[in-house]
Amino acid sequence: MSTASKGLEGIVAAETVLSFIDGEKGILEYNGIAINDLAKHSSFEEVAFLMLNKRLPKKPEFEAFITDLRGSYGLSDHTLSLIKSMPTTAQPMHMLRTMVSALAMEDPEPNSIDIPEVRVKAVRILAKAPTIVAAFDRLRRGLDIVSPDPSLSFAANFLYMLNAERPTHTMERAFDACMILHADHGLNASTFTCRVITSTLSDIYSAITGAIGALRGPLHGGANEGVMHMLNEIDSPEEAEQFVMNKLAARDRIMGFGHRVYKSYDPRATYLKTLAEQLATDTGNADLYAKSSAIEKTMAREVASKGIYPNVDFYSATTYHSIGLKLDLFTPMFALSRISGWAGHALEQLDGNRLIRPSADYVGPHNTQYLPIEQR
C-alpha cells in the first residue's frame, strides 16, 4: 500500500527561520516578528533586508541597503529592447518569468553560489522586477516608459513608473503593506520550487524563474485574480448575499476564502482589510469594498464555524483594483514581493545545502511483457 502524502501534506522538508505559521491560531511571524507589527510599523525595504539577512537592519546597514536597492532600479538598453520585443498580448507573468531569466545573461558570473554574491544578485533582481513590469505595462498601453526614480521607495517608485505620477500617501502605504504581507509564507509551492532548484546548486536566476512559474498557477498566486472576477460578477452590495448563497448551494468555491494552512482568520488579511477600506473610499471604490464586506459577513455566518475565513487574496484584490492595476497585474504584484522571500530561502538552502531528492512510491505493474509494435 502506498504511504505517499498527497501534495506532501504534513511532510517537513526543510528548516527555516524566515517565517513561522500557526494555522490554528492565525499567527504569521517573519523571523519571530508578528506580521501585523511589520505591516503597521515597518517598510517593505526593511522586510526585504530581513528576508535576505535573517534580522532587521541597524540604521547604517539599512541606509546602505536602500542605496544599493534603489541604485539598481534601472534597466540596461539590452533589457529594455527585450521588453519592447515582447508581444503586447503576452501575459505579464509569462513576460516577467522570461525577463528574470534573461537578467542572467547580463551577469558576468551568473552561476555563482557564493552566498554574499548571491545576496547581491538577489537585490538586483528585486530592484529591477518592478521596472520590468511597469515598462511592459506602459508599452502594451501604447505609453512611453517612465524611468525609475531612485529617490522613491520601492512601493512609490513602482506606482510612479506605472502611472507617470507620484502616488498618494494612502496608495503608497497600502501597496507597501501588500508587499510586506506577501514577502514570505513558509514552504509554499513556489518557495519549495525555489529551494529545490537551489539545492541542485543552480543559479539564483533559475531558482527565481522557476518560482515565478509555480506562483502563476491559479491554486497559488493566481487566486487574487479570481477574487476580482467574482466581485465583477456581483452588481451591487445588496446582491452579494444571494450570490454567496447560490454558490454555496451549488458547492462552488468562494474565491478568497479558506487556506491550506489557516483554520482561522488569515493574519495577513486583518490589517489589509483596514487599508483596503480606506483606499477604496479615497479612490471612489467604496462600492467595491462594500461588496467585499457583504460577502465576508455572509461567509462568516455560513461557514466560519468550519474554519473557512478570508485569506490575503480577498482584500488584496480590492486594494490592487483601487490602486488602478489591471487584473492581469495582480499576480505579478505577488511576485514582486515574494522575490525577497524566495531569495531568502535560496540563501538559507545554500547554507549547508543538501540536494532535495524525495522518493516516490511506485504503484504500477511489474514483469510486464514487452510486445513488438506489430503485436500491440
> Which residues are identified as catalytic?
220, 259, 313
All three cell numbers of 14:
526543510
Q: How many CB atoms lie within 10 A of CB 247?
A: 18
Phi, psi angle pair for 21, to nearest 5°? -125, 130
CA distance 264 to 276: 20
All three cell numbers of 362:
511506485
Residue 302's Cβ-count burial label (10 Å; 0-12, 13-18, 19+) is: middle
Q: What is the DSSP letter of 43?
A: -
Residue 90's Cβ-count burial label (10 Å; 0-12, 13-18, 19+) is: middle
From the list 14, 206, 64, the residue with the least C-alpha distance to 125 is 206
CA distance 290 to 246: 19
Per the document, the length of the chain is 376
Per the DSSP assignment, residues forming a β-bridge with 255 are none
Let me know the angle formed at the C-alpha of 336 by 180 and 108, rounded to the nearest 5 degrees.
125
CA distance 48 to 66: 10
